[in-house]
Each structure stands twice: as C-alpha cells, then as structure tokens.
Structure 1
Amino acid sequence: MGLAVSAHGGYHTSMLNTIIHGEPTAKPPLLIAHGLYGSARNWGVIARRLADERQVVAVDMRNHAYSMWTDQHSYPELANDLAEVIDHFGGMADVVGHSMGGKAAMTLALQYGDLVRKLVVADIAPVIYSHSQIQFTEAMRAVDLSKVKRRSDASEQLAKLGVEPALQSFFTQSLDVKGQRWLLNLDVLAAEMPKIMGFPELEASWDGPTLFLSGSASEYVLPEHRDLIRGLFPTAKFAKIPGAGHWLHADKPREFEAAVRAFLNA
C-alpha cells in the first residue's frame, strides 16, 4: 500500500477498509461508521437494505477488522480517516455513526463540514462518559485462543468471564478463528480508552441536518445533554426507537433502517 494523501493533509499508509453496497446514484453515498469492537460487516443487513436507493459504504475503523492498526485512536484522527474515505467516494456523503463511530462522525462534521450532507448520530452524545468499556477488552484478552477451534469455543470462554450472550456473538464476529487472533488492536484500544470515552474540545459548530437517534432503553443520550448538543449541532432533532438499547441497530434493525431512510429522504 502506498501513502494515501487526503485533501485535508492527513497521511495514512492506506485508506480504511470499506465494504461497498449498491451502485452510485444521484444521491450522495451513505457512509456508516461502526462503534467500538465493531466492524463494517456488523452492518451488512442494514447497509444492503439502504443500498436500494443510494450507494452505501461501510468502513472498518482504524484498529478494527481489516483497517490499519496504529498507536493513536483519537477522534480527530478517526474523523480524518472518514474524511479520506468521503474524498475517495466523491467528496460529499450522508453519514451514520454508532457509539464510537458516532463520536467520530460528529468530529468529522465539526472539522470537515463541507464533506457531510446529513448526519445521523446513533445512541451517543458529544460528552465524556464515566463508564469504560475496558472490561470487554480485558475479557477478550483473557480468552485462550489456542483452545478456540470455532467461534462457540470463544463464546463459552467469554460467558465464563461474565460477558452476556448478545455481546459474546458480537465480539466473536471480530475473531479470526483460523489465525487464532482478534481482528481488534486490543492493546491500543485499552491504552486509548480515555480518549474513546471522551470527546475532543472543538471550537466549532455544524448547522447541517442532524438526527440523534437513540434506544429508549439506553442511557447514553440524556435530556441534560441536549443544550450541549444544540450548541454544536444547532439543527439537531431527537428520536427514540422503542424497546431498543445501546445497540439499537441490532435490537430493532427494521425500525432503525426506517428512521434513517426517512431522515435521509426528508
């Protein structure tokens, strides 16, 4: 891989790995940025459905799946990665970001607003969270991969480490069983966890159309976050998906897809 140069001056050894659904249309492509421990593959069903109207580009974020592993994992860097992908796909996109990907997408809009047409932020706010996800990094690092012949072997070990079933299946999607390795840069994600749980202080706002779409059973986006959100995203609208938690796209995929489609086409 040669050095790819973004129009915004960032240098990478390679662009983020992408999974492309559908063909280009008159509408801007839709870029999907997954959350912590996720991958482009997690979004396959929703991406395929939304690709009936526009091209959908799902990315593997850095330090995840098949994208580059680096020692840094800050939101300005993640936003720069996304900007490079949008440059590559025509210079303007609609963007959906979940959790960590939502914070990266918000940072993208605040730093490179001309690249984003509409923004959907899925179950995350531009705030510092006190609860960490470090216990899941530790659980995955504790799995004895030499004893894993199939995904279910890893799930069994994760269960003994107290990981709930829904998250066992989610995490093991990022397991290379044959190579007996995680497709996650767990050491760097652990070291950079304070940045992942945080949000950069940016003297900026973005007044494009923005939807904060949350799960009704999740506590990531609270009423007390709204003033801060509106300071950064003055046109922000808020919606909740009934019966969905933090992984709202997995809990209620049809409702999530319908909400995103309605917002993008409004």
Structure 2
Amino acid sequence: MSVLFRLIRRGLLTGRTSFRLYPGQDVCGLAPNVRTASSSSPVNLTYDVFDGKGESTPLVFLHGLFGSKSNFHSIAKSLVQRTGRKVLTVDARNHGNSPHSSLLTYEAMTGDLKHLLAQLHIEKCILIGHSMGGKTAMATALTQPSLVERLVVVDISPAQTTTRTNFHCYIRAMQEVKISSDIPRSTARRMAEDQLRSLVKEHSVRQFLLTNLVEQNGHYAWRVNLEAISAHLDNLMSFPSFDTVYEGPTLFLGGASSAYISSEDYPEIQRLFPHADIQYIPDASHWIHADKPLDFISSIISFLQS
C-alpha cells in the first residue's frame, strides 16, 4: 500500500548569592537527589496513568526534547473521556522525574520503553510520540513491532533534523542562566526568562523551556540533564538506520506551519512505514498538541477508528 498524502481540514472540534543552573542537576520535590543510571541498563521511567473503563489497547504518549509527561495531561484526560481507553504519559530518561543517565540515544530510550511496558504487563499499545518521542516511537515500532498495535508520529520524520532546529542555542542559553537563591518562584521564572531572551527569541519556546525550572530548599535548577542532551544532540537530531519495516497502521501528523515533515521525507517514510498516512493540521506549529489540542484529539480519534 502506498503512503497516502492529504491535508486534514479543521474540524468543528476542532518552571543573596547567585548561582549557575548546572547541567544535570535534578532537584524536583519528588527526587531531591539525582538518580543516575548505569549507561548500559534501562532506567525505570516515571509515568502517569489515566484509567479508562474500556478494555481496548492503551495509549502511550512520549514527549519531545525538553518536554515531560505533563505535556500531554490534558490531552490524555480528554482521550480517556472520549475513547474509554487507558492512557499513559511517560517521562523519557534525563527528562521530567525520570532518572538521569550519561547515555541518551534512541536505542537506549527504546529499551527503557520496552522495560516499562513489561513492568506494567502491557503486551501491546497505541504508541504516540512527539518530536524526540516520535523518533523513539518509530524506533520501537521498527524493532519491537509486536508491542505496537498502531503508531502516531507527531511532527517529526525518520530524517535528519539538525538544520531545522535551534536546540544548540537553547542549551547554551539554559546553561548560562544564573538565578538568586531564596526568592519566590515567580521571580525566579522572570529572571530566567529575561536571561533566556537574548538567545531564545520566541516567547512560547521560552515558556516551554521554563517548565524545566524546579526549586528545592530555595535553590533553582534545570531538571533536564543538559550535559547528556548536549553530548548527544547530534544523534538526537538524526535517526538510526533500519532495514526493517513496520507494517502496522501509522499516522504522521504534522503542523502545517512547521518544517519538520517535508515532502523530501516522504520516500523514507514510505520505505519504513508502508501503511502510513500523512496529515497536516492547519495553523499549527511544531507543538501541535498545544496549538490545536481539539484538532489533535480529533485526529487521534479518527485514526483509532479507521
């Protein structure tokens, strides 16, 4: 079956002395000390479960670079109500409340996900991944197809994305931020945003990065492992080479205002995912689920029913 290319139309539902925020510090309230995993073993990912009453295959959401499981909480709640399915949102290693590791590759993240699904006795899932999470989802489907009943890849493709991103600038900006200790969180966020502004021009991106600013005992730090992200950024912008294919139903969902899924990517998408449908949501950027949540939810539901 050839890849179907079409645009979807908008439906009716349609974060005294100053200190630097050192990369790799994790001072979340739930994880006061950095939990560092050995580089070769899977880490125990943190996750949230939204229980549905139905017995259908659960949905599993994987966030993008600098994101966390909370990025999909409102989406998850809506999908539970609309579909009755159980929904999981997952923190990748070096993100959110999941452990830190010096290793950050798609092979490692795929291993983490396989480990989590085994722990939860989930034999098959609907895998939905955004950006970095989308590449993890693709790699999982290509290496462990029996785990993935259906696949949704959100605004990313199995292609090199380095030229389309400013992540090097974001990391540098975050590493250079200095914030006074023992100040209110709202003040700390303002200080951090002011310092990010010179390198991170877009207000929405600054707000997204600031979701990683955490406080404990009066001190502020970034919960993402900036050191590991920086060390592996080129690999994260790329994608492993595969000779296998995933034969299951697949949806590539792009933002019409985003360049992350271009026509140049179509042949590789078709090679790896022969039953893929590619759709674009109008007036949506890379963060489709934040820009157009109702359209995003409707697209997921339509795909599940197809």
Which residue, out of 47, 52, 56, partners 2:87?
Answer: 56
TM norm structure 1: 0.92
Q: Is structure 2 residue 117 aligned with structure 1 residue 86?
A: yes
The whole-number CA distance in structure 2 between the counterparts of 1:48 and 1:82 is 21
SS for the counterpart of 1:228 is helix
Select the structure with the greater relative contact order (CA < 8 A; seq sep ≥ 6): 2
Q: Which residue of 2 aligns with 1:253?
A: 293
Q: Is structure 2 residue 276 aligned with structure 1 residue 242?
A: no
Percent same amino acid at aligned positions? 35
Is the alpha carbon distance of 1:138 and 1:149 closer, same or farther for their aligned partners in structure 2, counting shifts above 3 Å? Answer: farther
The CA deviation at 1:37 is: 0.3
Which residue, out of 145, 151, 160, partners 1:119?
Answer: 151
Larger displacement relative to structure 2 (24-33 or 184-193) = 24-33
Q: Which residue of 1 aligns with 2:96?
A: 65
Larger displacement relative to structure 2 (49-58 or 192-201) = 49-58
Q: Is structure 2 residue 187 aligned with structure 1 residue 153?
A: no
The whole-number CA distance in structure 2 between the counterparts of 1:113 and 1:162 is 38
The CA deviation at 1:24 is: 5.9
SS for the counterpart of 2:101 is coil
Q: Which residue of 2 aligns with 1:7?
A: none
Aligned residues: 257
Q: Which residue of 1 aligns with 2:27?
A: none
CA contact (8 A) 2:162 2:234 kept: no
Letter aligned with residue 56 of structure 1:
V
CA contact (8 A) 1:211 1:236 kept: yes
Letter aligned with residue 63 of structure 1:
N
The CA deviation at 1:217 is: 0.6
Q: Is structure 2 residue 246 aligned with structure 1 residue 215?
A: no
Q: Is structure 2 residue 108 aligned with structure 1 residue 74?
A: no
Larger displacement relative to structure 2 (22-31 or 184-193) = 22-31
The whole-number CA distance in structure 1 between the counterparts of 2:227 and 2:180 is 19
Q: Which residue of 2 aligns with 1:173?
A: 211
Larger displacement relative to structure 2 (206-215 or 65-74) = 65-74
The whole-number CA distance in structure 1 between the counterparts of 2:99 and 2:53 is 26
SS for the counterpart of 2:206 is helix
Which residue, out of 26, 31, 42, partners 2:71?
Answer: 42
SS for the counterpart of 1:51 is helix
Q: Which residue of 2 aligns with 1:25?
A: 54
Q: Is structure 2 residue 175 aligned with structure 1 residue 135?
A: no
Larger displacement relative to structure 2 (239-248 or 154-163) = 154-163
Report which of the two structures shows the higher radius of gyration computed on alpha carbons: 2
Letter aligned with residue 193 of structure 2:
S
CA contact (8 A) 1:22 1:48 kept: no
SS for the counterpart of 1:244 is coil
The whole-number CA distance in structure 2 between the counterparts of 1:55 and 1:159 is 39
TM norm structure 2: 0.80
The whole-number CA distance in structure 1 between the counterparts of 2:206 and 2:76 is 22
Letter aligned with residue 258 of structure 1:
S
Letter aligned with residue 21 of structure 1:
F
Letter aligned with residue 220 of structure 1:
Y
The whole-number CA distance in structure 1 between the counterparts of 2:98 and 2:179 is 22
Deviations 1:45-65 (A, max 9, x none): 111111222111000001101
Which residue, out of 98, 103, 109, partners 2:130?
Answer: 98
Which blocks of at least 5 consecutive residues in structure 2 are unaligned?
1-36
Which residue, out of 264, 271, 285, partners 1:224?
Answer: 264
Deviations 1:160-185 (A, max 9, x none): 44332101111111110334111100
SS for the counterpart of 2:270 is helix
